[in-house]
Amino acid sequence: MPIYKAPLEDVRFVLNEVIGAAQLAQLPGYGEATPEAIDAVLEEAAKICEDLLFPLNQSGDAEGCTFEHGVVKTPPGFKDAYTTFCQGGWAGLSCDPEFGGQGLPTLLSLAIDEMVCSANLSFGMYPGLSHGAYNAIEKHATAELKKLYLPKLAAGTWTGTMCLTEPQCGTDLGLIRTKAVPQPDGTYKITGAKIFISAGEHDLAENIVHLVLARLPDAPPDIRGLSLFLTPKFIPDAQGKVGARNALSCGRLEHKMGIKASATCAMNFDGATAWLVGKPNQGLRAMFTMMNEARLAVGMQGLGVAEISYQNAARYAQERLQGRGLKGAVFPEKPADPIVVHPDVRRSLMTMRALVEGCRALAYSIGLELDIEARHVDPARREAAGQLVALMIPVVKAFVTDVGFDVANMGMQVFGGHGYIRDTGVEQYVRDARIAQIYEGTNGVQALDLVGRKMPDNYGRLMRQFFHPVADFLQAEKDNPALADMLPLFMSAFGKLQMSSLTVATRGVVNPDEAGAAATDYLRLFALVALGFMWLRMAKVAAEKLPQAGARAGFYDSKLKTARFFFSKILPQANALNLAILSGAKTVMDMPAEAF
């Protein structure tokens, strides 16, 4: 049976000692978000995840959702767990108190998202999507719609969806065919079909609020003609009581590789009553205001699966007896040594650990910048935070979800044959992790966004928000003896990132295929350097705290050892990535399309 224990010590380390989450309490509206208050919330979230959600993960995967006569039922236990989750206020953790939320920072919400996704990724889809719908309505809907819908979404009694994808279009939303026809009373009638709609139909809540991209009759072509509409499953009255069933339905459940307890639906809209959110023909803009946080949340899904995969692999490696150490018996009193003594198993475990802890620090640091962008009193600081967030979101979404799948695979490998069978539970993590690399914009699309939009933005304006702080840190710490064995390795990789950035930017202007062919390698190189920067920061803290650490000495020593592993065994991948980027697009594009 798998295990899960919320990694609170690691979470606290990043929040309190590395990125300085104490500054949240200085932001307007976050005065109560002190380190002590945040820690108390994390403790309670850990209990919910460990005791309520995690026990349903394997059974939910085995039983899945069911669909009969248009009705979707979640697996046994999910409805009760969802009710308990919402009664605890977890659905509205970072929602505005004006609408019944708790008004806590986005960063805290992301840390809890990580734990929820470790414990039960399928369950986490339901409140996660609702929060995305909440954000879009809060930022773009009329005061009347906000008053009616936001308290229900914050309470979790209603859930939300994002209805974008259609059978003929995914990333290319300009191909959307769903129509919206204005009505005399100011509403609209939505007609069309949407697919891959997570939480499109279920039995957890009394109503489901669909945010639908559709076209008005006089809309211009492609993405310029998309508008966003709020389309409830049941049409509420002015007091928020659900009324008549709207003209929409679930046509089928998708049979998926993973996240089987998350209801992924094909939705049909047959003249459904809807309300415009935002301005006509600006639906994509309204939808994308929620994308930064949504894509960061998908990164948390990758991190959550990676964390639980590491925990189970580490435990198994310490318990599984197999062979003897290469230099002889390490535990001669046992019939064989645990596999943790073998160098290759340790290589896997150290790789998993270094990636998980590095990704956590990177993702949390961007979560903090989201809060600063939203709340800081200094407009210049808000602008700088927003620029860094815009730059790093595709990096975090793509790389951390890649890590989620890779770490789950490595964990399964540590288990050997026992990992391939269902009893141990680790094969589920491989299946569940895979979707995060695909939805909310495939990771290839994230790479194109990085090199095609973020890199050239205003002659590198966004890039400077990353490169300058890194250069400042290197200058400040160049003589730090605790980092002496790490800094040269990092500086080499940082130099290669700078070189690759210039190469991709200049070649891409002449031939866009050059940037496109380099995009995925470039994003990974960028991510590895970003993780290296976070590991330098973590190592600096650990080295400073270690001499007076007392009982926590082992914790800080492990951080330093993991940092050294990252710089010596993982960061050198930057060399190969740089060479691949410099090799250009010719070998990628030479093959005629018909030859494939």
Verdict on whether the full-model pTM lies above 0.75: yes
Q: Are residues 428 and 495 in the same domain?
A: no
Q: Are residues 518 and 585 in the same domain?
A: yes
In a domain, 488, yes or no: yes
* In the predicted structure, residue 290 carries a pLDDT above the cut 80: no
Q: Are residues 421 and 354 in the same domain?
A: yes
Domain range for residue 253?
A: 159-281
Number of domains in the chain: 4
Instruction: For 531-561, write each residue's pLDDT tens digit.
Output: 999 999 999 999 999 999 999 999 999 999 9
H/E stretch holding 169 reads none
Q: Are residues 305 and 328 in the same domain?
A: yes
pLDDT at 292: 77
170: domain CATH number is 2.40.110.20
End of a domain among 113, 140, 167? 140
CB atoms within 10 A of CB 502: 11
In a domain, 502, yes or no: yes
Instruction: For 479-518, write each residue's pLDDT tens digit.
Output: 999 999 999 999 999 999 999 999 999 999 999 999 999 9
**DSSP labels, 566-588:** IIIIITTHHHHHHHHHHT-SHHH
Cα separation, 285 vs 292, in Å, equals 12
Quick one: CA torsion of 13, 52, 128, 209, rounded to 10 degrees? Answer: -160
426: domain CATH number is 1.20.140.10
pLDDT category at 50 given cuts 50, 70, 90 is very high
Query: Any catalytic annotation for residue 544?
Result: no
Q: Are residues 366 and 274 in the same domain?
A: no
H/E stretch holding 439 reads none
Q: Are residues 247 and 358 in the same domain?
A: no
Instruction: For 51-107, write each residue's pLDDT tens digit.
Output: 999 999 999 999 999 999 889 999 999 999 999 999 999 999 999 999 999 999 999
Q: Are residues 169 and 249 in the same domain?
A: yes
Instruction: For 110-120, write each residue's pLDDT tens digit.
Output: 999 999 999 99
Q: Are 138 and 321 in contact (CB under 8 A)?
A: no
Q: Are residues 311 and 424 in the same domain?
A: yes
Q: Are residues 456 and 430 in the same domain?
A: no
Mean pLDDT over 385-403 rounds to: 97
Q: Are residues 294 and 428 in the same domain?
A: yes
H/E stretch holding 272 reads strand 264-277
Residues 6 or more apart whose CB falls under 8 angstroms from that of 2 comprise 57, 58, 308, 312, 424, 425, 426
Q: Are residues 262 and 294 in the same domain?
A: no
Instruction: For 455-474, write each residue's pLDDT tens digit.
Output: 999 889 999 999 999 999 99
Q: Which of 138, 357, 440, 514 is catalytic?
A: 440
End of a domain among 94, 109, 140? 140
Mean pLDDT over 576-584 rounds to: 97
Q: Are residues 368 and 277 in the same domain?
A: no
